[in-house]
């Protein structure tokens, strides 16, 4: 890894009284100031940006999640049944250090990093269906009942769903369900995601793009053929759009990754503009165009009146507005349309949104939205 915009690094070897306080703190690289031969950085929990010499920055070691206890041989993931029992934190050490296990009174950045562990690839020692969720992650994941994701097709994605929902909850704090940032910490979530990039961003975006079936087990057979055919056409790989879904559980699960992206509007006024840094990394990701395609489809389905559109449409439109308007170039009419409480696009616009899959930059996104 090299020093680059969006990379998380550690501050070190500062000699001033103020600098010594910052040594050991994480920072995100914002911009290289070539004239001064320094990096403009946003240091964690600081309200202003700082310019540091290259010699005062070093790369962090990418976090590696610990393996779950391998002797937990469970056929399903249980959440609500265990969350009450574990509320007293009476866990053996091997549970306490396990992948993704954390509690509300842990230090915020530690919690965020433990949640991001679940967005990392599974280790060779276990499969997700052999584990039980513990601590805070169990409470967050209970918004999607375990009975609705017990199909074989979704087993491998359970950790990803749980991690995204928990990170979204951290962004919103106590106001998670109201989609209002409240006392949340989206800045810490951005630090944790970028420190584990690119794997964390790949999982975040693939959870939007290539979502497996999430819904009542009784409905799986009905949509199974749609999912199979969507991958057989033209040799489709695992990163193509899966069929649209509209169950309540699917909507709750999608509030994880979409909630993280939506919460970034709280960072617009921060000096380091961490929203632009994370969205910038997303723009360069191979799944960028497909992610926008999913967002367009959800926006179109809002006008169609489907349950997923009704529940996620406003959030998706605000994400699209934020992505396209990071440099304040959007015209007033487009801005008002995207941020209205309800958006009813006509059939022609809906059709454009449903098939638009070739946008490769935020500049193109802004042009497309303003043409609508």
User: pLDDT band for position 235 (50/70/90)?
Assistant: very low
Whether the pLDDT of residue 229 is over 80: the answer is no
Cis peptide before 114 (omega within 30 of 0): no
> Is residue 29 within 8 Å of 59, Cβ to Cβ?
no
Whether the pLDDT of residue 123 is over 60: the answer is no
Arithmetic mean of pLDDT over the chain? 80
State the pLDDT at residue 76: 34
User: pLDDT band for position 148 (50/70/90)?
Assistant: low
User: Phi and psi (nearest 5°) for 6?
Assistant: 90, -5
Angstrom distance (rounded) from CA 226 to CA 8: 41
Strands 38-43 and 57-59: unpaired
State the pLDDT at residue 124: 55
Highest mean pLDDT among 16-20, 105-109, 138-142, 223-227: 16-20
SS3 letters for the chain?
A: CCCCCCCEEEECCCCCHHHHHHCCCEEEEEEEECCCCEEEEEECCCCCEEEEEHHHEEECCCCCCCCCCCCCCCCCCCCHHHHHHHCCCCCCHHHHCCCCCCCCCCCHHHHHHHHHHCCCCCCCCCCHHHCCCCHHHHHHHCCCCHHHHCCHHHHHHHHHHHHHHHHHHHHHHHHHHHCCCCCCCHHHHHHHHHHCCCHHHHHHHHHHHCCCCCCCHHHHHHHHHHHHHHHHHHHCCCCCCCCCCCCHHHHHHHHHHHHHHHHHHHHCCCCCCHHHHHHHHHHCCCCHHHHHHHHHHHHHHHHHCCHHHHHHHHHHHHHHHHHHCCCCCCCHHHHHHHHCCCCCCCHHHHHHHHHCCCCCCHHHHHHHHHHC
Query: Between these two residues, 47 and 289, which has the higher pLDDT value?
Result: 289
Enter the tokens of residue 119.
């967005």
Taking only the tens place, the pLDDT of each residue in 67-79 is 444 333 333 334 4
- The position carrying tokens 């391998």 is 70
Buried b (16+ CB within 10 A) or exposed e, 219-235: ebeebeeebeeeeeeee
Whether the pLDDT of residue 348 is over 50: the answer is yes
Taking only the tens place, the pLDDT of each residue in 286-311 is 999 999 999 999 999 999 999 999 99
> Which of 87-91, 223-227, 255-259, 351-355 is least confident?
87-91
239-259: average pLDDT: 86
When computed from its CA atoms, the radius of gyration of the chain, rounded to whole angstroms, is 21
User: pLDDT band for position 160 (50/70/90)?
Assistant: confident
Residues contacting 248, CB < 8 A, separation 6+: 215, 307
Whether the pLDDT of residue 247 is over 80: the answer is yes
Whether the pLDDT of residue 225 is over 50: the answer is yes
Whether the pLDDT of residue 341 is over 80: the answer is yes
Whether the pLDDT of residue 239 is over 80: the answer is no
Whether the pLDDT of residue 136 is over 90: the answer is no
Query: Between these two residues, 199 and 230, which has the higher pLDDT value?
Result: 199
Taking only the tens place, the pLDDT of each residue in 2-21 is 899 999 999 999 999 988 99
State the pLDDT at residue 349: 94
24-37: average pLDDT: 94
């Amino acid at each position: 890894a090299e020093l680059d915009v969006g990379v998380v690094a550690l501050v070190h070897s500062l000699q001033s009284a103020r600098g010594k306080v910052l040594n050991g703190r994480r920072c995100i690289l914002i911009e290289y100031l070539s004239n001064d031969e320094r990096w403009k950085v946003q240091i964690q929990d600081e309200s202003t940006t700082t310019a540091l010499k290259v010699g005062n920055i070093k790369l962090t070691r990418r976090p590696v999640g610990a393996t779950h206890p391998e002797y937990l041989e469970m056929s399903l993931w249980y959440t609500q049944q265990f969350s009450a029992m574990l509320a007293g934190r009476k866990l053996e050490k091997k549970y306490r250090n396990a992948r993704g296990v954390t509690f509300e009174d842990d230090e915020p950045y530690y919690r965020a990093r433990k949640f991001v562990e679940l967005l990392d690839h599974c280790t060779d020692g276990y499969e997700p269906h052999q584990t039980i969720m513990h601590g805070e992650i169990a409470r967050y994941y209970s918004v999607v009942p375990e009975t609705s994701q017990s199909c074989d097709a979704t087993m491998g994605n359970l950790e990803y769903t749980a991690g995204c929902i928990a990170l979204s909850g951290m962004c919103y704090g106590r106001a998670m369900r109201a989609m209002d940032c409240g006392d949340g910490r989206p800045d810490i979530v951005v630090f944790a995601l970028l420190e584990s990039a690119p794997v964390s961003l790949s999982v975040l975006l693939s959870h939007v793009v290539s979502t497996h079936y999430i819904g009542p087990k009784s409905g799986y057979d009905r949509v199974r053929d749609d999912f199979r055919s969507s991958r057989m056409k033209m040799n489709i790989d695992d990163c193509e759009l899966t069929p649209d879904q509209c169950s309540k559980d699917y909507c709750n699960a999608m509030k994880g990754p979409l909630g993280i992206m939506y919460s970034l509007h709280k960072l617009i006024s921060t000096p380091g503009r961490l929203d632009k840094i994370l969205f910038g990394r997303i723009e360069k990701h191979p799944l960028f165009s497909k992610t926008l395609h999913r967002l367009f489809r959800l926006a179109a389905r809002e006008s169609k009146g489907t349950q997923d559109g009704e529940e996620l449409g406003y959030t998706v439109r605000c994400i699209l507005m934020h992505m396209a308007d990071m440099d304040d170039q959007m015209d007033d009419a487009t801005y008002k349309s995207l941020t209205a409480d309800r958006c009813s696009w006509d059939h022609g616009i809906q059709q454009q949104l449903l098939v638009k899959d070739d946008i490769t930059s935020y500049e193109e996104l802004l042009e497309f939205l303003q043409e609508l």
